[in-house]
Amino acid sequence: MKYFFLRYGKLLYGIIALLDLLFTFGHYDHLRLFSKPLLMPALAAYVMSLPAAKHKNSWFIIIGLLFAAAGDIFLLFDRLSPNMFIFGLVCFLFTHILYILYFAKTPQTKPSLLKQSPVIGLVLLAYIATFLLCLFPHLGSLKIPVIIYTVVIGTMFLLSIHAHNSLTKKSGFRFVLGALIFVLSDSLLAYSKFLTTFPFHGIAIMATYCIAQYLIAEAMEYL
């Protein structure tokens, strides 16, 4: 089984992701009950098959993917109850915290990219502040949870940049790009939920989410 996921794990994930995007496009919500919950477990199985899985810090990424799987399931039912969105938010909050722990525990063998280019952090802070100001009047009782979540995912992105130089070139690039696209995906989700929907918003949110998680998982292959 380990050999199967090592060789075909990424292909399996790609097929499931493509099916989920097709179901999203066609509004086949009943079929997404099968496709969406399989996405992150497939990625987690792929990461577990990699040589890097032997390193104890890798479990932060693996468990983070499994929390994301739980979040995906809760968000499938967010129209049925507002609590489902909160539960999903909490699951993804843990995902980002686990990713933060992974990046924070990466041994610093080279000067931090964030220290070399602090403007990156300033740009992110400006983006987060501006985005929250736009969202704030529309958040209702979710003001505090959304602010906390936004700060945490922003921290995750910054720490991926901090760890970049101490990773291999291919791994560091994928971690940073994956974290950046994750910020984009969650921004699209928040915009469509609290402000207004836009054409193909479901496709855009899921496509960026799938790409982000894929890049973070694949980065483990190049450590």
Upper half-sphere CA count for residue 184 (Cβ side, 13 Å)? 16
User: How much is the pLDDT for 2?
Assistant: 86
Token pair 């989410």 in the structure block, residue = 209
Q: In angstroms, how far is CA 210 from the centroid of its own chain?
A: 8
**Is the predicted pLDDT of residue 155 greater than 90, yes or no?**
yes
Longest dimension (CA), the chain: 51
User: How much is the pLDDT for 199?
Assistant: 93
pLDDT of 166-223, one tens digit each?
999 999 999 999 999 999 999 999 999 999 999 999 999 999 999 999 999 999 999 9
pLDDT of 21-72, one tens digit each?
999 999 999 999 999 999 999 999 999 999 999 998 999 999 999 999 999 9
User: How much is the pLDDT for 103?
Assistant: 98
pLDDT of 91-118, one tens digit each?
999 999 999 999 999 999 999 999 999 9
User: How much is the pLDDT for 162?
Assistant: 96
In three state form, how does the secondary structure of the chain look?
Answer: CHHHHHHHHHHHHHHHHHHHHHHHHCCCHHHHHHHHHHHHHHHHHHHHCCHHHHCCCHHHHHHHHHHHHHHHHHHHCCCCCHHHHHHHHHHHHHHHHHHHHHHHCCCCCCCCHHHHCCHHHHHHHHHHHHHHHHHHHHCHHHHHHHHHHHHHHHHHHHHHHHHHCCCCHHHHHHHHHHHHHHHHHHHHHHHHHHHCCCCCHHHHHHHHHHHHHHHHHHHHHHC
Give the total number of structural domains in the chain: 1
State percent of the chain over pLDDT 70: 100
**Is the predicted pLDDT of residue 1 greater than 90, yes or no?**
no
Q: Which residues contact 195 (CB under 8 A, 6 or more apart)?
A: 134, 135, 138
Range of the domain at 91: 2-222
For the whole model, what pTM was predicted? 0.96
**Is the predicted pLDDT of residue 124 greater than 90, yes or no?**
yes
